[in-house]
Amino acid sequence: MKIKDVMTSEIACVDTKSTAADAAAKMKNQNTGTVIVVDGDSVKGIVTDRQIAIKAVAEKKDPKNTPVSDIMTKDIVGCRENDDIFDALKTMGENKVRRLPVVNDNSQLVGIVSISDIAREMRSGMDSMFDEITKSSR
């Protein structure tokens, strides 16, 4: 199965000039815990709700005045939409991340995939397989 089959296409993004408060508002509006930081078509970082809490709020920084560039993860690891989900899982494990930005063959951001997206799809497949096995054993 390919990443494009399990990824989320509706990506929450903010630009590099955004603040932690902007990122939090985007998360609230799109009901997500992660936003991608972009500069045009280029991915510059990822910000999670946890990073806002730990690197801004807990440090007593004003989220309205804290640039996302101060709190985001800058060393981004991603994958391509036609990559196999098992390759993405390997990349996640090797890099100790739970989410990967997804790009197309033109290196344009087209989605994000999380370990839970993959697990949900794998569980669905396993449930179907067990249903078939159960039917055949009756």
Per-residue pLDDT, 130: 59
CA neighbor of 116 nearest in space, from 30, 32, 15? 32
pLDDT of residue 131: 62
Whole-model pTM: value is 0.81
The Cα–Cα gap between 35 and 118 comes to 19
pLDDT bin (cut points 50, 70, 90) of residue 37 is very high
User: To the nearest 5 percent, what fractions of the chain are helix, strand and coil?
Assistant: 45, 25, 30
CB proximity list for 51: less than 8 A, separation 6 or greater? 71, 72, 73
The CATH number covering residue 15 comes to 3.10.580.10
How many angstroms separate the CA atoms of 121 and 134, rounded?
20
pLDDT tops 80 at residue 128: no
Residue 111: pLDDT over 80: yes
For residue range 7-35, list pLDDT tens digits in order: 999 999 999 999 999 999 999 999 999 99
Query: Cα angle at 100 between 91 and 79, to 5 degrees?
Result: 65
Nearest to 28 by CA among 7, 59, 49: 49
Domain count for the chain: 1
Question: What is the tens place of the pLDDT at every residue in 40-66?
Answer: 878 999 999 999 999 999 999 999 999
* Host domain of residue 43: 3-136
- Residue 129 pLDDT more than 60? no
